[in-house]
Amino acid sequence: MIVASASRIAAALLLVAATAVRADAVSDWFEFAGAVYDAGHAQDAPFEVDVYLSGTRAALAMFEAADSVDRKYVSFLHVEPAAHDASVPVAVATAAHDVLLAAFPAQKAMIEDRYALALAEERDGRAKDAGIAAGHAAAAAAVHAGGLDPAASLAPYWPQGRPGQWLATTATVLDPHDAAMKPWFMASASAFRPGPPVALDSARWVKDVDEVRRLGGKDSRERSAADTVLARFWAAADPTSAFRAVASQPGRSLVRNARFYAMLALANDDTGVAVVDAKLHYGFWRPIQAIRAGGGNPAIAADPTWEPLLKTPLHPEYPCGHCIYAATNAAVIDAEGAPKAGLPFTSSKLPGVTVTVATTADYVRQDSFSRIAGGVHFRSTAEVSEAMGRAIATNTLARFARPL
């Protein structure tokens, strides 16, 4: 019988630990990119393309860096193959470092400290040097990818009313740049624009308004205590831990994880453009307006004092952004394979609380219902929005980095 020494066991455990950390380097840098953005982006700062696209460009750079070494997919940015023995973790770290530093020079100390720790995990030598070179090349290709559509209007959105009619003087939170970005894979911002909202003279409209009035009111007696909490939770839910759960599944490589995060970023960018385009095109009213005014239908009784559970977002109702983003993320996760243990989510509204959903279908269903229970969206809007999100994700999956 062979008895392993304590030192050999310790060395083996250290090797396993190091491999586990390094195998999720893409997740680490993806999350770090979010921290850099939060630290370097003031809420009232003027729009900057490099800042706006920093997360997507970092994800793209990490994918191109990993794929240039471990060639498994078609390069999106036409990056040349790197040395086959280059360190993929170093390539990923270097690519993210370069993109983030270009977008946030004021956060140099924060970025350089994180990069120094990443480089320290790789011993000096050819693999490390080749990884650095691969990362630089990928970042150079990604740092200027995407941008504003020169044909798009940057005029601020303002609701239209008849002459003499009072309108709110607080501008919408929708920045004109949101609809002016060049789509990554959509033919245009309106390529996935849905048909019009449900007709005000339809039975479906009466049903939708009644549901939100009953379940989404601030003082609703029909909404459960759990749904009240979940409405607040999902309003500010963070899917980062869910993404990491997907990336951390056994057998996944760094290049596959890099592709996963890049697909999420690109699909969400296109989703954002499509959402704003449709919202501004239709300008559909929110539940608070419809319910207080009687919904434009004689079958609906006006309720002038009704208030929603959640604060009504300062932009049009149709389509539902939360619903679309959830459906987009779910479709990308489905293509990768969701973890059997479920998908964990956190929320800034409930610090320290994690909500784990069993499937992507549960994720989409809970997120969409929370907008109804919160009193800010209609069910028909949620259904249309979910289909829209799945379609945009499917378009991204079909066009980005196909396997070789």
Residue 19 has pLDDT above 90, yes or no: no
Task: Please check whether residue 123 lies inside any domain of the structure.
Answer: yes
Distance between CA atoms of 247 and 256, rounded to whole angstroms?
A: 8
Which parts of 253-330 are beta strand (E)? none
Determine the structural domain holding residue 73 and report its residue range. Answer: 19-142
For residues 307-316, give the mean pLDDT: 95
Task: Please check whether residue 213 lies inside any domain of the structure.
Answer: yes
* Look-up of token digits 């539940």: 287
Q: 396 CB contacts (<8 Å, ≥6 apart)? A: 184, 185, 263, 266, 267, 270, 332
- Whether residues 259 and 118 share a domain: the answer is no
- CATH number, residue 182: 1.10.606.20
Residue 213 identity: R
Structural domain count of the chain: 2
What pTM value is reported for the model? 0.91
Cβ–Cβ under 8 Å, residues 247 and 28:
no
Task: Read off the tokens for 365.
Answer: 């269903």
- Whether residues 203 and 63 share a domain: the answer is no
Task: Read off the tokens for 224.
Answer: 């459960």
* Look-up of token digits 């009784």: 301
Asked which of 91, 122, 142 is the last residue of a domain, the reply is 142
pLDDT digits (tens, 9 = 90+) for 369-384: 999 999 999 999 999 9
Asked which of 117, 142, 167 is the last residue of a domain, the reply is 142
Task: Please check whether residue 147 lies inside any domain of the structure.
Answer: no
Which residue has better confidence, 174 or 249? 249
Structure confidence at residue 9 as a pLDDT band (50, 70, 90): very low
How high is the pLDDT of residue 393? 98
Sheet of strand 355-357, all strands in order from the earlier edge strand to the far edge: 237-238, 343-347, 355-357
Structure confidence at residue 171 as a pLDDT band (50, 70, 90): low
Distance between CA atoms of 128 and 75, rounded to whole angstroms?
A: 22
Share of the chain above pLDDT 70, in %: 93
- Whether residues 254 and 377 share a domain: the answer is yes
